[in-house]
Amino acid sequence: MSDRSGWLLVEGRHPVEEALESGREVREVLLQDGIKEGTLQHFERIAKKRGVAVRRVPRAEFKKLASGAAPQGIAAWVESVRYVSLEDLIKRAVSPGLILICDRIVDPHNLGALIRSAEASGASGVVIPKDRSAGINSTVLKASAGAAWKLPIAQVTNLTRSIGQLKEAGYWVVGASMDGDRSLWDVDFKSPTAIVIGGEEKGISRLVLEACDLLARIPMRGSIESLNASVAGALFMFEALRQRSTLT
């Protein structure tokens, strides 16, 4: 991933298409020499509709710029995701409110997948810490399938304090933990809820665990003791969606 003060180099056919079609500010589309003429014409056409400059780049220059495993000879400089304040995120929340809190998620692929699941399950936003966490970069954007541009994301300096703010706003805070005293299926998600997901290596940090109202575990039958953080987060958020679907 490359960046230049407020701009991200987004790589790959679908992420660049998403950027051009989402209404985000796009400064320039870069097309590597040698890619299929039909692909070149396709991106030149949609970039022209947006009034975005297109530059054809020699293969060697493009390889220096691109850092992803499969940029497909297509990239674009796109405005970075702008974080919102926690107060603004709370104000924007659609009742009854579902917010995802990511604690120590350092893998950008996992963070992107969590944001994607949050958007798909109807969450109002995501909270991430400033330290010990992946930021919103091009890898996160790609893994989120563009959801990181659509969902409000608050980057906070102190998760424990932020949990306190959410409680004051009426949120029930549920932490995903193998040591939870109840099953995920026994949690009532019908009231305003913030779900905390921790990283694979160390899980939720001690102070954040202590700040949660309750800890819940995912029922498991096999020999594997835990799930990938993004999978666990998806299970929690879609259980909330399942319960809330009975309200409409």
CATH number at residue 17: 3.30.1330.30
Q: pLDDT band at residue 106, thresholds of 50, 70 and 90?
A: very high
Tally of domains within the chain? 2
Which of 40, 58, 79 is where one domain is finished?
A: 79
pTM of the predicted structure, to 2 decimals: 0.87
Q: Where are the alpha helices (DSSP H) in the chain?
A: 13-22, 37-50, 59-65, 86-92, 108-120, 138-143, 147-150, 159-168, 206-211, 229-245
Contact (CB, 8 A) for 20 and 48: no
Identify whether residues 52 and 94 lie together within a single domain. no
Which of 53, 79, 105 is where one domain is finished?
A: 79
Identify whether residues 33 and 105 lie together within a single domain. no
Q: Tell me what the mean pLDDT of segment 25-33 comes to.
A: 93
Residue 105 has pLDDT above 70, yes or no: yes
Domain with 222 in it:
86-245
Write down the pLDDT at residue 68: 62
Strand pairing category for 3-4 and 7-11: antiparallel
Identify whether residues 136 and 199 lie together within a single domain. yes
Q: Tell me what the mean pLDDT of segment 6-11 comes to.
A: 86
Identify whether residues 70 and 148 lie together within a single domain. no
Which of 22, 57, 79 is where one domain is finished?
A: 79
**Rounded to whole angstroms, how far apart are CA atoms 178 and 165?**
26
Q: pLDDT band at residue 1, thresholds of 50, 70 and 90?
A: very low
Identify whether residues 116 and 162 lie together within a single domain. yes
